[in-house]
Copies of this chain bind each other. A is one copy, B any other.
Amino acid sequence: MRILVVEDDVNLNRQLSDALKEAGYVVDQAFDGEEGHYLGETEPYDAVILDIGLPVMDGITVVEKWRAEGKGMPVLMLTARDRWSDKVAGIDAGADDYVAKPFHTEEVLARVRALIRRAAGHSSSEIVCGPVRLDTKASKASVDGVALKLTSHEFRLLSYLMHHMGQVVSRTELVEHMYDQDFDRDSNTIEVFVGRLRKKLGVDLIETVRGLGYRMQAPTDAH
């Protein structure tokens, strides 16, 4: 984890940086707004600690510029205790959190931990199989980057197959996972949907295992 500390008070900056290094983080330091902004723009940080009152460019402006540039790393602002309106402005500018000066170093560490923990929770849920890409969160699928237009059952089928990649999935297993109880087992709906899905996918990734069911697998097949 790499952290940027932007604080013009040299002692305070070192105090924070030392504590962070102590806690196992990699720390970069900046001492004015412009330097801080430049570093945040060019280097990939997991979190930034940013003083609100900085020479050259103030903290609010720095955050705003980062956000406008699409930089989304968590930012922890340091503010003067009594200027609560600054806090509100900072948060609305895109900061994720703030700590009022003077602070306990331990508190800053706890907040940094919380920020990093939270930021880690946004990994998108994607499954990839060869050229096929499934985004379960968005309920979307694509082949070679081209979005597929799937109906809900087709999507459910693809989803189940991709969640069990490489395994043979039986027809009854599919029925049980795609429908709620009491579905007429003597119908060929699954086969129909497999057919339609194969047609829409274009590529032949759904293998039929005769007598057992279907298996989805990447094409680079050693077997």
Contacts and interface: CB of A to CB of B under 8 A. Distances in A.
A91 B104 CA distance: 14
Q: Give the interface residue-count category, chain A.
A: 35 or more
A109 B142 CA distance: 39
A121 B72 contact: yes
Contacts of A125: 92-94
Nearest to A122: B121
A31 to B, nearest CB: 24
Contacts of A58: none
Contacts of A91: 110-111, 113-114
Interface in A196-223: 209-212, 215, 221-223
Contacts of A71: 123
A124 B95 CA distance: 8
Interface of A: 64, 67-68, 71-72, 74, 84, 87-88, 91-97, 104, 106-107, 110-111, 113-114, 118-119, 121-125, 137-140, 142, 145-147, 151-153, 155, 166-168, 209-212, 215, 221-223
